[in-house]
Structure 1
Amino acid sequence: MKNTFILLSLAFAVNSFAQSSKELAPKKFLNSLSQLCGTAYKGKIVSTSVPEDFKDKELLMYVMQCNSDQVKIPFFVGDDLSRTWIFTLKGERLELKHDHRKEDGVADEVTMYGGTTTNTGTNNIQFFPADQQTVDLLAPTAGNVWYVTVDEFKFTYNLKRVDKESAFSVEFDLTAPVQTDKRPW
């Protein structure tokens, strides 16, 4: 009886640890982003096709605002300061929204699109399929899946349209922070 109790206790402890580890992945991911707060990094397109408005432009991400539930990362493309990625913890899931602004700071007509993870992901990668708000805003985005990776060496932002062959990926070198005075519109 004593051995059975010990085995059951051990099994429960292992299962609880496994469950808590899964539940913590979005939080650990967000914490990894928060550790970069106040720092900027240069990026480069690593996908085969480069969007026309990105060609020959400096790409910077600036981890601007961080708290326990949200991280805001402006993504600068040359002098275009209109894009900010917003990662928000929503219970056991993580949400990614794209905040687009005009030069006067007013919200763009196409803004706050993105998605929420459908599973806990891992500490280093999260997947964001387009949510209903996004599809309502832009019907062709129904097949969009954004995924973001972070480790001690690099951060990648990726977009795959499951109904298309092409993909978009930009990689930022986290080993070489840069100085910038740029701020989003």
Structure 2
Amino acid sequence: MKKSILILSIFLTSIPTFAQTDQTGTEHGSLMFWNNLSLLCGKSFEGEMVNASEKDQFYGKKLVMHVRTCEDGKITIPFHVGDDHSRTWVLTLEEGNMIKLKHDHRHEDGSEDRITQYGGMSSNTGMAKVQFFPADQETTDLIPYAATNVWWITLDEKSFSYNLRRINNDTAINVKFDLSKEVETPPTPWGW
């Protein structure tokens, strides 16, 4: 009986739980989001387009995210689209409690794409389960039509979603990943 209790205790303490506070005990939404995302480090998950149509660039392709690195203040998440390993979402913790999202695009030889490093900074500390990233000035200078882009990421115990909406436009991308089932880790993304 004691052996069974010990095994159960070890098992329960090995199950990851979503963080409720940051290291100082302050409940900043951005830091809870960051800590919860870090719990997924090293894991890969398959996703699907939400409300996809045949016009969508990802339609009919295998979509896999891999929370590849969780260094101090930086999380990289390659987004694999079929055999295309050119995309990596790069999240950095800025000013202690704000999160910046950048899109790193590479060619197969590892060189940077002409359109890369666009994204934005969270406009506030957000919530533990959602972070919003309006397009920054670098994005506006690089891709003028993307000046009204708003990206957001949702995260809970069951799913991670990556979303894009362009204000005053019907363009929308929504990819939802099932966190309940890990998949095989894809190849190293191009340029990394």
Partner of 1:31: 35
Unaligned runs of 5+ in 1: 1-18
Partner of 1:62: 66
Deviations 1:127-146 (A, max 9, x none): 00000000000000011000
Distance in 1 between the 2:56 and 2:153 partners?
22
The correspondence for 2:112, drawn from 107, 112, 118, is 107
By how many angstroms is 1:63 displaced? 0.5
Which SS does the other structure have where 1:147 is aligned?
A: strand
Structure 1 segments (4+ residues) deviating >2 Å? 47-53
Partner of 2:13: none
2:134 counterpart of 1:122: no
* TM-score of the pair, normalised by structure 1: 0.85
Which SS does the other structure have where 2:126 is aligned?
A: coil
Structure 1 residues 133 and 159, CA gap change in structure 2 (3 angstroms) = same
Higher fraction of helix: 1
Deviations 1:141-176 (A, max 9, x none): 011000000111000000010121231100000000
Amino acid at match of 2:91: F
Structure 1 residues 50 and 144, CA gap change in structure 2 (3 angstroms) = farther
Which SS does the other structure have where 2:131 is aligned?
A: strand
By how many angstroms is 1:49 displaced? 3.6
Within 5 A, what are the aligned runs for 1:70-109?
Answer: 70-91=74-95, 92-109=97-114
CA-atom RMSD in angstroms: 1.5
Partner of 1:177: 182
The correspondence for 2:151, drawn from 139, 146, 155, is 146
Partner of 2:5: none
Distance in 2 between the 1:85 and 1:99 partners?
6
Conserved? CA contact 1:41–1:60, under 8 Å? yes
Distance in 1 between the 2:105 and 2:151 partners?
16
Distance in 1 between the 2:36 and 2:71 partners?
12
Structure 1 residues 145 and 165, CA gap change in structure 2 (3 angstroms) = same
Deviations 1:68-98 (A, max 9, x none): 3111000000000000001110012100000
Conserved? CA contact 2:49–2:59, under 8 Å? no
Structure 1 residues 181 and 159, CA gap change in structure 2 (3 angstroms) = closer
- Residue identity (%): 47
Unaligned runs of 5+ in 2: 1-24
2:46 counterpart of 1:42: yes
